[in-house]
Each structure stands twice: as structure tokens, then as C-alpha cells.
């Protein structure tokens, strides 16, 4: 069971992020994208600091440095995704962001000289095809928004890789606190720079953004950081890519979106990708050996 803690935790994160699509859609009716970012990260740092106050007394310099690195990549990824969405369609934005599932093993191989597992890499390719079938609606050519979103995917890939590296020797809770604090500071700087300091609170808007702050940010990123202590970065990227599938599920349940054959095919491909990555098809090997013997 212990060896599956990472996978189970990351699946829960993907489910939470999938549910966040609905909350994000509601939040955007009341706040600007940059206001949403700063609010969700601010809520996160307040809650984490309150709950884990005693742990903060023993924080190390190395934790602050490493947490700051992943915090910068975290905010950069969200900011690029947000700006990219201004210039491209939501479906292309979601699909290109999910390309990080392929970028992660490539960065790990070429920059960090990690051995590339053929099953995990094939699973990553299959997952991105599944996400494409599930969410992509081709419209127009490649534009500036697509380019920004691709940079966002690269930032998310580095966030996953560095989280996997740093969490091996650092307290995952403190890493999460530091990255949330850095993302909050960057969020305030951007909001002040853009002059978006005026907030109009409404019950619906506040409820949605609090859900993003408490559930999709505080709980999800804490869970992601802890879970990555028990699995590698490529598996993490593949499992987290199911966010698109869970987003579809919650859209059907909450927003009454109609289930289509395209959705079923895309979801099936993602599921097969995870099975290949997790099992490395050992059941076929066993069956083959059994027949030979």
C-alpha cells in the first residue's frame, strides 16, 4: 500500500483540479484572472501558515531556496496560462498546457540525464493524444496565445521535476508553504503593476474563489508535494494529466454537459496511458512466460 501512496495522492489532486474548472469559470465572472491568482495563493499561505505554524520555526535555508524555485515556476506557469487564454481558445489552452506530460520525461532525460522509461514515455504520448481527443477543438493556426501556453507547459514541467527532486530531502509541508508564499508575493506584484487593486465582492464570486484557494490550491498542492515524495516525475505528470478527464466528469455532473463519443474515446486513451505507465504491461509478460513454460 505504501508504494501506491504517491499514485493515490496524485489521482486525488487531479480530481480536485478537475473540479476546479467549474469554480474557475464562476470566479472569472467576478474577478480578473490575476486577482484570482493572488487570492487563491494568499488563502493558501494563510491556511498553511496557521495549520503548520510550529513547523515554520524549524525551516531551513535550503528549504527556503528550493521552495522559492518551485514557487517561481508555479506562478510563472499560471500567469502564462492566464495570459495565453486571452489570445487562444480554452480548449487549445487546456490541451497545450497538458503537453507538459511529454515535456517532463524529455527535460528529465536531456537536462538532468535521467534514464527514460519506454513504458512511461509511451504512456505520456498516449495521454497527450487522449487529452487532445477529449478537449481539442481546432480553430485557426498557431498564435501568440498558443506560444505563451506552450511556455506555461514548460514551466509546469519544471515545477513537477523540481518538486520531485527537492521533496526527496526536504519537508514537503514546508516546501509547499514556501512556494505558496513566493507565488503570493509575485501575485501581489503583478496585481499592483496592472492596477487591478479594486475588488467587488459577491457571495457567488467569493465562494468560488475560496474553493479555489482552499481546495484547489492549499489542499491540492500540499497533497501533490507530499505524493511526489513516493513516485517519479514522469508518472506524476501522466497521473496529473487526468485533470482534463475529471474536468469533463464534473462538467457533465454540475454543468450538465452532454457526454459525446469523442469524450469517451479521449478518456479511454488516458486510462490506457496510465495503465501502461503504472503496470509496464507486466501481466502480458507473465502470460507469455506462462505459455512458454
Whether 264 contacts 34, CB under 8 Å: no
**Residue 107 Cα distances to 82, 126, 147, 158, 206, angstroms:** 23, 18, 18, 8, 38
Half-sphere exposure (Cβ direction) of 165: Cα atoms closer than 13 Å = 17
pLDDT at residue 222, as a whole number? 94
Residues in the chain: 293
pLDDT at residue 106, as a whole number? 86
Reported pTM: 0.83
Whether 54 contacts 129, CB under 8 Å: no
CA distance 171 to 160: 16
CA distance 109 to 103: 10
CA distance 89 to 136: 9
CA distance 86 to 47: 31
Per-residue pLDDT of the chain (293 residues; tens, 9 = 90+): 555 888 899 999 999 988 887 788 788 888 988 999 999 999 999 999 999 999 998 899 999 999 999 999 999 999 898 888 778 766 677 777 888 888 898 888 888 888 878 888 888 888 888 888 876 665 555 678 888 888 999 999 999 999 999 999 999 999 999 999 999 999 999 999 999 988 887 889 899 999 999 999 999 999 999 999 998 888 898 889 888 778 778 877 876 777 778 878 888 888 888 788 777 766 555 554 555 44
pLDDT at residue 134, as a whole number? 72
Boundaries of every domain in the chain: 2-292
CA distance 47 to 112: 34
Closest to 92 (Cα-Cα) out of 139, 129, 124? 139
CA distance 74 to 37: 11
Q: Mind spelling out the 3-state secondary structure of the chain? A: CHHHHHHHHHHHHHHHHHHHHHHHHHHCCCCCHHHHHHHHHHHHHHHHHHHCHHHHCCCCHHHHHHHHHHHHHHHHHHHHHHHHHHHCCHHHHHHHHCCHHHHHHHHHHHCCCCCCCHHHHHHHHHHHHHHHHHHCCCCCCCCHHHHHHHHHHHHHHHHHHHHHHHCCCCCHHHHHHHHHHHHHHHHHHHHHHHCCCCCCCCHHHHHHHHHHHHHHHHHHHHHHHHHHHHCCHHHHHHHHCCHHHHHHHHHHHHCCCCCCHHHHHHHHHHHHHHHHHHHCCHHHHHHHHHHHC
Amino acid at each position: 500500500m505504501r508504494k501506491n501512496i504517491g499514485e493515490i495522492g496524485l489521482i486525488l489532486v487531479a480530481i480536485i483540479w478537475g473540479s476546479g474548472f467549474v469554480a474557475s469559470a464562476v470566479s472569472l465572472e467576478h474577478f480578473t484572472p490575476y486577482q484570482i491568482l493572488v487570492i487563491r495563493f494568499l488563502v493558501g499561505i494563510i491556511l498553511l501558515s496557521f495549520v503548520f505554524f510550529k513547523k515554520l520555526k524549524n525551516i531551513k535555508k535550503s528549504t527556503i531556496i528550493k521552495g522559492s524555485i518551485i514557487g517561481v515556476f508555479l506562478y510563472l506557469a499560471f500567469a502564462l496560462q492566464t495570459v495565453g487564454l486571452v489570445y487562444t481558445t480554452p480548449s487549445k489552452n487546456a490541451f497545450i498546457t497538458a503537453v507538459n506530460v511529454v515535456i517532463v520525461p524529455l527535460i528529465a532525460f536531456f537536462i538532468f540525464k535521467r534514464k527514460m522509461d519506454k513504458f512511461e514515455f509511451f504512456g505520456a504520448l498516449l495521454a497527450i493524444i487522449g487529452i487532445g481527443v477529449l478537449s481539442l477543438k481546432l480553430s485557426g493556426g498557431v498564435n501568440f496565445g498558443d506560444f505563451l501556453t506552450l511556455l506555461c507547459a514548460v514551466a509546469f514541467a519544471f515545477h513537477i521535476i523540481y518538486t520531485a527532486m527537492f521533496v526527496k530531502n526536504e519537508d514537503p509541508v514546508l516546501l509547499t508553504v514556501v512556494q505558496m508564499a513566493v507565488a503570493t508575493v509575485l501575485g501581489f506584484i503583478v496585481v499592483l503593476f496592472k492596477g487591478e487593486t479594486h475588488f467587488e465582492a459577491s457571495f457567488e464570486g467569493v465562494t468560488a474563489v475560496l474553493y479555489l484557494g482552499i481546495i484547489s490550491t492549499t489542499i491540492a498542492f500540499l497533497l501533490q508535494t507530499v505524493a511526489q515524495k513516493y513516485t517519479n516525475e514522469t508518472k506524476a505528470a501522466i497521473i496529473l494529466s487526468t485533470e482534463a478527464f475529471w474536468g469533463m466528469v464534473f462538467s457533465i455532473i454540475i454543468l450538465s454537459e452532454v457526454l459525446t463519443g469523442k469524450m469517451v474515446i479521449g478518456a479511454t486513451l488516458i486510462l490506457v496511458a496510465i495503465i501502461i505507465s503504472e503496470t509496464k504491461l507486466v501481466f502480458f509478460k507473465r502470460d507469455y512466460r506462462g505459455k512458454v513454460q
